[in-house]
Structures are given as structure tokens and as C-alpha cells.
Structure 1
């Protein structure tokens, strides 16, 4: 006999686990009432057992047989014990005041032991002696590992290749090629396991804080690109393409205390480099360095307007640049003077 805060599955299974530990073994059959912690849908012939209760039963090796609805004869012995518990335990404690469940359960245990060791009417033994002599040897041994409650959820893998566990307000990553598929989540107090089509595709340590738990191998190339970004990464990428672009990137990061704000500018220039003739792009970068131009839009405008051609000789002008000479173009030296 024990008190628990509620009839939720956690509290119900905790009480049932304490009962089995107290008895020192597990029976073959456990008969329960039709509370939601044990039975999802009552039925006279084939009731639907709560999945967490079913896991608990499988762990301890017993079968759950719920009573029929409105058939007290299915649990006559239990109903009689409830009456006796009220008379022999609850009634003796009704005038006492308790301040915690621990105090209540300590008092319950004391009165229950007293009840079980009291000689039965018209018998030469007590309940405890009968249990130890006849029933205890028939119980199965309890499993060595304690039962851990499993929770279940069915979620869709979102476009960021994560599933969102609303209970914890936390995202857990899944390999990116499962985006859009239905995933079954089985999680315990410590672990989160993610299954797709019956196969476990990801396992994470459970986090109770809002945020993300990801693995690098789960991410696609675009995700990994953003995760790997750093000043050194961009400078290395620029060195593969252009010496002047490398110098520009170094200046970007030297001038900025927060490198992250320069990443988009570097992405834009790398994209611009792929679309522009290499010789032209090198000259544009040199022009930008000589004139202190350090923004993406300004460098793009230099390419579009061909300003970099103003002070170049005919031999230096790249083919296809469509350079136009006329009197209105005065050149850099005119404005410098």
C-alpha cells in the first residue's frame, strides 16, 4: 500500500515497480483496473494496453489482463483487500497530519507490515507466513536492470533535417536524406532514438534545454559549409582563385572585430569570381585594393561599368572588354591633379 501524486503512467508504474520489489519477484499475470495508465481502450474481449504499461510488462515478464468493465467479480479479492486496507491502515492514520508523501508512505508501510503479521481469523498463520510458504516460490526473478520508462512520438523530419521534440523544445538531427519522411521517436530520461521505416537512424543524448543537438555526419553539404565557415576558411578558398582576392579577404577580417559579418560579403565575391573572367576579376580586385574599395556592391559596379579599364594601355585591355575611347573620358590623373 503506497501513496503517489497521481494516476499518470509514471506514478502508476513506479508504484507497481515498488510492489514487485517488495514481493521479491514477478507473477505470470497482473490484473489491473481500466485506468488510462494501464488500458488505452477497454474491450470485453481484446482490450488495448497502454504502450508504456506493455513495455513494463515485457521487461518484468508478465501478462496484463485488465478486468471487464463493471464486473467487480473479476477482481473480488482485490476489492476485499481495498476494504481491509481502509479499515486496518487508513482508518488508524486518519487523525494524523502528514507533510510529505514520504511520511505518508512510511506510516503506510508500518501499518501494512502490522496487518500482514497479524494472525488471520480461524487460521493458524498470518498473511506474511502464507505468502512466504506458498506464493513467494512461484514468482519469477526480477530483472537485474531497473525499468526505464519509454516515451513515443511520431514526427516528420523537417527541411533542416531535424525532428522537434515539443516536450523539451529541442531539435535533434537526422541524416539529411530522410528529410520529409515520418520518423518514430522513442526517448527515455537519458536517450533519444529516432527510427525511420523501422531502422534506427540516429541516437542522441536527451537534452531538457531548448536548442539543437546535431551531428556533423547528418548534415548536407550546404549545412556543413555554414558550420565550417571561419576567416581561415575564406582566405584559403580565395587563395585557390586569386592573389588579389586573398589580400581583399585579409583586409576584410583585419578591419572587422566580428568576422561573422564579413562572411556574406566573402560569399558574394566568391560567387562573383566564378561568373567573371579570371583576368578581369584579378584586375578589378587590384583596382579595388589600390582605391580602398572594400564592399561587394562597389566591386560588382566596377565590373559592370568597366572603370578598371580607364588607365590601361591597349595591350593591357583584355579581349572582349568592349573598351570605348572618346574625349569625355579624362582618366584618373586628371582628377588626381
Structure 2
């Protein structure tokens, strides 16, 4: 008001021009003209009366604006709120443009935004945030439990209550399990996705032990099995920050509603199995999702059908199969031990550390994020599951030879060779002890014609020399080609350690000893 008084003094009292007054008071000349015009319209002249203080002077120059009698068409703010959640590209400006297209005399953009914020401020805190359709699901365990009695023993267990809620529609899911372990945690997620018939873009759990191995405000370490479930369903896991309940206000409110409208009505029921609990929960949960909102139109179910269901990702073709991840070190026999059983890996990984994905029916082994082996999961302890492709070449070749296969090979050379090979296997305490002798015969077959090997085997059988060395000696000495009369001296096995021949005994009898 001081500058207004100075403007009136300089203009009316001293007769200065508007530009001179503006330069003296360091204000714009248009402001000077506005002050002078308002004073003229209010009938205020210089000098000012003593009773005209600053408050009365301001009231005279700036009288209150009479309220407008024009009523602007009011937008449907609940519809605006839902449209913001329906699609990522929808903004208040786009909705205002559509509103002005339908109502040219409607609010200006700034007033439109102010009116929406005022309406949103009257909602519950969990409804104020704008969540995109199909974007987020919050999951957590309720503090309340449900008692389940074992029919045989009478033991009472507290079943844990799993709660999931979709952010945009507040559509709620409830499951019960006997534990909060990793298998039950993942199984509840599978049932939750199937209940909704689709998968959200993000799943936001609390820092549950089964979900997060190491809680962190910036880089939480998600359990490997839980991560696998997320990859299978094409979603991502984003744990809430530790000690930050505002990050999961949706599920906190859902837990409260489940306790009030689902669990409380069942407090006097006695259950004997989880299936009984789930059957009792189903109609109460349906009623909760059909229950109308108090401060906005519709229900969880109607919003789910309108917002979330069309935006959820489709379920994969196969249901997730639970599997645990473990670490193991490959032994020198290129096997790892898992739950007391042994499974092979490629022999080049001996003494290396590998990761094991232990499924219900399969065992998969990974090295540096690459699958190197897969086996059917065995039952019981102490057994071996070996893939021949994992063995060194020498081990694999040894395994491939069996008594019947060796005899079949020998038969290709001839009946005498087959008979000799059979004799090699029969005269050993264990057939495998004759494998090497038979492999030696195979080598001789590559060095000598089949007719000579047949003759050598026949001669060895005749003299009872059942060894590879006997046949080799006969062949190298050419005895397989000699006449039968020339073989009388070889009536004993040629490779016997104590055979010295008839000359030895003749010389010894004459008193000569060699």
C-alpha cells in the first residue's frame, strides 16, 4: 500500500507523468496507470483522509469479485481415476482435452487438475496412488493363522495365510499352507496366477525368508528358485524396501480386509485338512471381491474385469515345476552327489564346482550358466546314474563290450575263434576278466588272416591253452601252419610256466642239468 500512496501523491499532488512516476518508484508505467485508474473508479483522491488506513484502502481499490453464477460441468472423477490406471500413456492432460471436447465451457486445465487432486485426496491412502492395470501385484503372509487338526493324532497346526492383491483393482487372492517354506511360497504363487488367469508385470513381496536371501534397500538378493518361477511366468520380482510399510500399503490393507471378512467368520470352524480350509475360504473371498467400494464406484471384481484382467500377461503353456538350487563339486569319477545319489557330468569337469537344479523328477546340472547334464531323478541312496557320453573314451569303450557282443564278434572270424572267446570268458571268475584277452584276439585278427587265427584258436583249444598269449605264440611261431605230427611236442600248454620240453627230462636223467 505504500507504493500506491506514493503513486497518488506524485500524480495527484505533484502532477508527474506516468513514466516519471514509474522511473522514480522503479515500477512499470502500466502498474502506475492501473493504480491511478482504480483510485479514480473508487473515488479516492489526494490527500487521503486520515481514517483511510491500508486495509480500507486495499478494500476500496480491490473489492472482492462477486461469485460467478456460471456452473462448469463436473467431470466424472472416478472415471478419470480409472482411466489413469488403465494404460501407461493416459495422462491428465489427455483426459482434460477429451473433457473440453465434450464440454467446451468446462474447466481450464489447471482448474481441472486441482479439482481432481481435491477429489483424490478424499480417498483412502491405498486408493490415492495411480497404479497401472496389470502392472503390480503385492504378496505377503497375514499375521493371523487357521488351525488345522490331524485326524489321526489330534495334533493342531497353525496354517499360514498367504494374501495377494492386484494394485489397480485391489482384486484379492487368499491361500493357506502348513509352512512358510520355499515350496509352499512358490506353490501359492502358482495358484494365485491361475486364480487371476494371468500374470502381472511385477510381483512385490515383503522381505520374506523364502523370497529374499539378503534384504537390501538398493540391491536385494532374490532366492534362485523364486527367480526361476518369475522367469517361467514372464514377470519380475521387486522386493519392498526393508522397514518401509508404505511400499506395500496395498497388501497391508488387503490383509486387514481378509482378516475381517474371510478369517473372522471362520474362527469357530474346525478344519481337518488344507483342502477343507480352501473350500471354506472360496465363497467368503468371492464375497469380499464383490463387495462395493465405499468411496468410489464398483467393486474389486468389477475393476478386475475392467482393468486388470485385459492387461495381465497370459499364463505359460506349462505349469511351473518346483525345483531347488544347490552347489556341488564334481568328484574325480566325474559324478556329483545329491541327496545320497550320484549323477554323472562330462569328465572334463572333474573337480569343478557346478550348480544343481533339483526338480521333482529331474536333476539338471549347470556350469557357468550352461546346462551340461540332465538326468531322471533317482530314489533312494547310494545309486549311480551315469550317461555314457560323459565318460572318457577308454571307459566308454570298456563299457560297450559285453560277453555276448564279444562272442558275436569272434563268430565273424570263425567257429573256432568263437569257441575260444567263449572259453576265455567261461574260465575266468568274472566275465569282465576275459574282456582284455578277447580284445587281444581282436588285435590279432587285424594282423593275421582269418584262416590262421582259426587254426591257432583250434590248436590252443586242443592243448588246453586258454589264454591270449597262447594264440599269439602259436601265430608268431607259425605253429598254426605245421602238421599235426609236428605238434606232438606241444601236448601241454605252450605258455605254462613250468613246461621245459622232453629234452629237459632226457638230459636230467643222464645227469646233465641245464
Same structural fold, with TM-score higher than 0.5 when normalized by the shorter chain:
yes
After TM superposition, list the pairs within 5 Å mapping 1:92-103 onto structure 2: 92-103=265-276
Residue pair 1:249, 1:266 contacting (<8 A) in 2 also: no
Residue pair 2:201, 2:236 contacting (<8 A) in 1 also: yes
Q: 1:81 is paired with a residue of what secondary structure?
A: helix
Residue pair 2:203, 2:235 contacting (<8 A) in 1 also: yes
Q: 2:373 is paired with a residue of what secondary structure?
A: strand
- What is aligned with 2:137? none
Provide Cα deviations, 1:40-97, integer angstroms capped at 9, x if missing partner: 1001221111112122223333332222223323222322221221221111111111
User: Structure 2: how far apart are the matches of 1:269 and 1:58?
Assistant: 54
Task: Name which of 219, 225, 228 aligns with 2:391.
Answer: 219
Moved more, 101-110 or 195-204: 195-204
RMSD, aligned α-carbons:
4.3
User: Structure 2: how far apart are the matches of 1:135 and 1:157?
Assistant: 48
User: Structure 2: how far apart are the matches of 1:3 and 1:206?
Assistant: 29
Q: 1:30 is paired with a residue of what secondary structure?
A: strand
Task: Name which of 432, 437, 442 aligns with 1:263.
Answer: 432
Residue pair 1:238, 1:246 contacting (<8 A) in 2 also: yes
> CA, structure 1 residues 329+176, in 2 after alignment: closer, same or farther (shift >3 Å)?
farther
Provide Cα deviations, 1:12-38, integer angstroms capped at 9, x if missing partner: 121112222222332222221111221
Task: Name which of 335, 341, 349 aligns with 1:178.
Answer: 349
- What is aligned with 1:140? 313
Residue pair 1:2, 1:109 contacting (<8 A) in 2 also: no
Residue pair 2:335, 2:343 contacting (<8 A) in 1 also: yes
Provide Cα deviations, 1:274-301, integer angstroms capped at 9, x if missing partner: 9xxxxxxx99x968964x68799xxxx9
Runs of 5+ consecutive residues of structure 1 not aligned to the other structure: 275-281, 313-322, 331-337
Displacement of 1:249 after TM fit?
4.7
| 1:230 equivalent in alignment to 2:413 | no
- What is aligned with 1:315? none
Residue pair 2:401, 2:435 contacting (<8 A) in 1 also: no
User: Structure 2: how far apart are the matches of 1:287 and 1:64?
Assistant: 76
Q: Which has the higher contact order (CA 8 A, sep 6+)?
A: 1
After TM superposition, list the pairs within 5 Å mapping 1:26-45 onto structure 2: 26-45=199-218
Aligned length: 308
> CA, structure 1 residues 286+311, in 2 after alignment: closer, same or farther (shift >3 Å)?
farther
Provide Cα deviations, 1:295-333, integer angstroms capped at 9, x if missing partner: 99xxxx9857441x3236xxxxxxxxxx79632599xxx
- What is aligned with 2:301? 128
Using structure 2 for the length normalisation, give the TM-score: 0.50
User: Structure 2: how far apart are the matches of 1:268 and 1:124?
Assistant: 89
- What is aligned with 1:326? 507
Displacement of 1:187 after TM fit?
4.2
User: Structure 2: how far apart are the matches of 1:227 and 1:324?
Assistant: 47
Provide Cα deviations, 1:194-219, integer angstroms capped at 9, x if missing partner: 33344433333333355233333332
User: Structure 1: how far apart are the matches of 2:466 and 2:309?
Assistant: 84
Larger radius of gyration: 2
Q: 1:186 is paired with a residue of what secondary structure?
A: strand
